[in-house]
Amino acid sequence: MYEEIARQLAKTNTRLVAVSKTKPPEDILRLYEKGHRIFGENKAQELQEKYEELPKDIEWHFIGHLQRNKVKYLAPFIAMLHAADSLRLLKEVNKQAKKHDRVIPCLLQFHIAEEDTKYGLDLVEAREILDSEVYKNLENIQICGVMGMATFTDDEKQVKKEFDELHHIFDTLKAEYFAEDPTFKEISMGMSGDYKIAQAAGSTMVRIGTLLFGERNYD
Ligand SMILES: *Cc1c(COP(=O)(O)O)cnc(C)c1O
């Protein structure tokens, strides 16, 4: 499966974040041995434990909602934070990154699905963050793009519409704030069930778990 997905994504230079949450280190090493280096997790403690145990050239992406009091555990090593959704979180990431003399790449998470969730910004809220003096003084974070999750549905038209919307948000912010900034280039969208739709809609990074590692068992 890994080879098939990798081949499919290579056509558009879309990168694969292998979502290894709940899965043991052996599963990660199996992909690592095939040359894969980008893995995604969504629990701070689980990620910290895996980081300590596994090879240090793995690029760890944090893809879930991150509580501010957990940022300090991840700041020394995370390669990217996919779900930044408040100025308060960005401030804390900046503060902890500074302690380690790092700049942490972050994506702004947008709420594009029909489902009700408390996570994710809209364009108005994103502009409020990007216009603020506080944000402009954050030197140890780098906003590299946007992230979103589509509605969990079989309705492909609906999913496509939501991915198109995220792409539009990306284009809008690029034009308004990042026109001169080549590092603002990522659109993180697409999971096991919808990655092909996301890829066709211009995703630069998909986050796939189940298709690579099998169903997750949460008990
Ligand atoms: C778990 C998770 C994924 C991967 O989901 P699959 O359906 O298993 O591919 C992707 N993105 C986020 C934010 C997740 O939490």
Cα(107) to ligand 1 centroid in Å equals: 16
Residue 208 neighbours by CB under 8 Å, 6+ apart: 5, 16, 17, 18, 19, 190, 191, 192, 195
Query: Model-level pTM?
Result: 0.96
Name the residue type at position 138.
Answer: L
pLDDT at 117: 75
Cβ distance 48 to 73 under 8 Å?
A: yes
**What is the number of the ligand 1 atom nearest to the C-alpha of 191?**
9
Beta bridge partners of 188: 147, 205
- Ligand 1 pocket residue status of 64, Cβ below 6 Å: yes
pLDDT at 51: 98
- Ligand 1 pocket residue status of 17, Cβ below 6 Å: no
Dist. CA 110–CA 121, nearest whole Å? 4
**Residue scoring higher pLDDT (119 or 174):** 174
pLDDT at 218: 77
Quickly state the pLDDT bin for 121 (edges 50, 70, 90). very high
pLDDT at 219: 66
Q: What is the pLDDT of residues 55-83, one digit of tens each?
A: 999 999 999 999 999 999 999 999 999 99
Quote the strand ranges of 46-196, DSSP E.
Answer: 59-62, 80-84, 104-110, 141-148, 186-188
Beta bridge partners of 88: none
What dihedral angle (degrees, nearest 10) is formed by the CA atoms of 137, 126, 71, 143?
Answer: -60
Domain boundaries along the sequence of the chain? 2-213
pLDDT at 115: 83
- Ligand 1 pocket residue status of 207, Cβ below 6 Å: yes
- Ligand 1 pocket residue status of 169, Cβ below 6 Å: no
Cα(189) to ligand 1 centroid in Å equals: 10
The mean pLDDT of 88-111, rounded to a whole number, is: 98
- Ligand 1 pocket residue status of 214, Cβ below 6 Å: no
Cβ distance 112 to 148 under 8 Å?
A: yes
- Ligand 1 pocket residue status of 28, Cβ below 6 Å: no
Name the residue type at position 157.
Answer: K
Report whether pLDDT(48) > 70: yes
Q: Which CATH code for domain 2-213? A: 3.20.20.10
How high does pLDDT run on average in the chain?
Answer: 97
